Amino acid sequence: MRNHALETVSIVTLGCSKNTVDSEVLVRQIQANNLAYTNDPKDADTVIVNTCGFICEAKEESIRTILEAGALKKQGVIKKLLVMGCLTERYRQELEATLPEVDAFFGTTDLDAILATLGVNLKRELLGERSLSTPSHFAYLKISEGCDNPCSFCAIPLMRGGHRSRPMEEIIHEAEFLARSGVREIIIIAQDTTYYGLDLYGERRLSSLLQAVANIDGIDWVRLLYAYPAQFPLDVLHVVREHPNVVPYLDLPLQHVSDQVLISMRRGISGRRTRELLRQIRDEVPGIILRTTLIVGYPSETDEAFRELVEFVRESRFERLGVFTYSREDGTSAALLGDPVPAEVKAERREEIMGIQQDISRQFNESLVGSKLPVLIDRAENGVFVGRTPFDAPEVDNEVYLTAEDTLELNPGSLVLARISDATEYDLRGYVQ
């Protein structure tokens, strides 16, 4: 309900977990400055759309969301509409020229200016504090901004700039704040988490950062996402193996395996080195869960290159895998290659790989039936508790559906030991006694 006494603000956050963190930082500042906050844009005086500009679909969704908020303004439901984030970084002039209903545009690092537009000041003492939009027992921890890698298909450096690591003390301060706020699972994110420290300390410091976060009281799970394969810092694997609360899980977007495509993508790694790295990771941390992301339909992806990718997916047996179809993004070096692979061929290739992955995922999940696994409860639904094992990141991986004896007090954030009784390709079922 709108608080007529206070100016009420609502943020609509699109895109990735980095945007989620940016919005959470802003909400903390808004609430600390005696402004009211609501999750419902219709109940706000000011709506802020935190946009994504990654690929076509994401850009379309951002525009659609701005227009929806613009309609609320035209109807007099809201007074002010602000737009922030990646889409502004990429298309500010076009947006300013075509969206007169928007009162002001901001980029990805304009916290001060946004607060000034709301008539308040940045409270520096609160930096490192956030108002979580995720369930209160897990949170993303952004360790750097931007990216220095030259991937030919990627527009992120155009929007987020070059790589800037956050000082380790600042990150630990924020992680301690999250632990004090009841967070049990910390998910480490960046554009490229493996690059952490190289700019600031002259060396890769991801492993020492991981250890420092793992040593914080109250953190049961530490999860690492967005690890870039080229020059992957192997010392990270020791930390994963040695620290029981660093979950045996690694998100390692590979994008492709064909040398010809990897060279054109400027990924800085060969197919042979990729396979070798996967072997090293599985040898160093037996039982580790590997998630990867692939792109199909890249301009230079021939049938032969795609066949190689299909074989690679079969032989590598990733426990978790996602596939994007190539999206030609203006301003990237790959854009010069055009977009020769027809959309229907891209869709067929994606479908073929996801079909193979479905079987691999089912077989892996079936191998867990009968075992006992830790499960972090995310929510309750119709008398069933829904959660994740250490093998599952929020929003992208599998879920576990649990029944529990009435005597047990289970809530979101409860960490339980569950017996797995059944499996499908993408979910598990079980019970807690």
Smallest distance from ligand SF4 to CB 160, Å: 8
Tell me the window of 47-55, 144-152, 372-380, 407-415 that interacts with ligand SF4 (CB under 6 A).
144-152
Q: Does 269 sit near ligand SF4 (CB under 6 A)?
A: no
**Contact residues for 259 (Cβ-Cβ < 8 A; gap 6+):** 270, 271, 272
Q: 23 exposed, middle or buried (CB, 10 Å; 0-12, 13-18, 19+)? A: buried
Of 95, 14, 93, the C-alpha closest to 47 is 14
Say how far apart CA 270 and CA 277 lie, in whole Å.
10
Calpha distance 166→215 (Å, rounded): 19
Q: How far is the CB of 279 from ligand SF4 (least distance, A)?
A: 22
Nearest distance, CB of residue 114 and ligand SF4, angstroms: 24
Contacts of range 94-103, beta carbons closer than 8 Å, 24 or more positions apart: 99/66, 99/67, 99/70, 101/70, 101/73, 101/74, 102/66, 102/70
Q: Pick one of 22, 192, 220, 378: the residue that binds ligand SF4 (CB under 6 A).
A: 192
Tell me how far the alpha carbon of residue 386 is from its chain's centroid.
Answer: 20
154 touches ligand SF4 (CB under 6 A): yes
Residue 54 tokens, joined: 């990654």
User: Does residue 191 belong to the site contacting ligand SF4 (CB under 6 A)?
Assistant: yes
- Nearest 5°: the CA angle 23, 28, 34 is 125
The residue whose two tokens read 């390709």 is 425
β strands within 174-288, DSSP E: 185-189, 221-224, 246-251
Given 3, 109, 117, 149, the residue binding ligand SF4 (CB under 6 A): 149
Cα angle 51, 23, 321 (rounded to 5 degrees) comes to 70
Near ligand SF4 by CB under 6 A, which window of 143-151, 167-175, 370-378, 387-395? 143-151
| Rounded-to-integer distance, Cα 386 and Cα 359, Å | 23
Q: Which of 44, 86, 147, 159 binds ligand SF4 (CB under 6 A)?
A: 147
Of 151, 213, 262, 432, which lies in the binding site for ligand SF4, with binding defined by CB under 6 A? 151
Q: Count of residues binding ligand SF4 (CB under 6 A)?
A: 9
Closest to ligand SF4 by CB, 137 or 163: 163
Q: What does DSSP say about strands 384-388 and 372-381: parallel, antiparallel, or unpaired?
A: antiparallel
Q: Which is nearer to ligand SF4, 274 or 398 (by Cβ)?
A: 274
Binding flag, residue 156, ligand SF4 (CB under 6 A): yes
Q: Which is nearer to ligand SF4, 101 or 148 (CB)?
A: 148
Q: Which DSSP helix (H) or strand (E) runs through 245? A: none
Q: Which residues pair with 400 in a beta bridge?
A: 387, 428
Residues 198-237 that bind ligand SF4 (CB under 6 A): 228
Smallest separation (angstroms) from ligand SF4 to the CB of 370: 38
Q: Which segment (24-32, 115-123, 151-159, 392-400) binds ligand SF4 by CB under 6 A?
A: 151-159
Residue 89 CB, nearest approach to ligand SF4 (Å)? 13
Least distance in angstroms from the C-beta of 332 to ligand SF4: 9
Neighbours of 248 (CB within 10 A): 17
CB of 88 to ligand SF4, least distance (A): 18
Q: Which is nearer to ligand SF4, 70 or 107 (CB)?
A: 107
Q: Does residue 222 contact residue 243 with C-beta atoms inside 8 Å?
A: yes
Q: Specify the residue, 158 or 172, whose C-beta has the smaller distance to ligand SF4.
A: 158
Q: Does 333 bind ligand SF4 (CB under 6 A)?
A: no
Residue 152 CB, shortest distance to ligand SF4, in Å, is 9
Interface residues toward ligand SF4, by CB under 6 A: 147, 149, 151, 154, 156-157, 191-192, 228
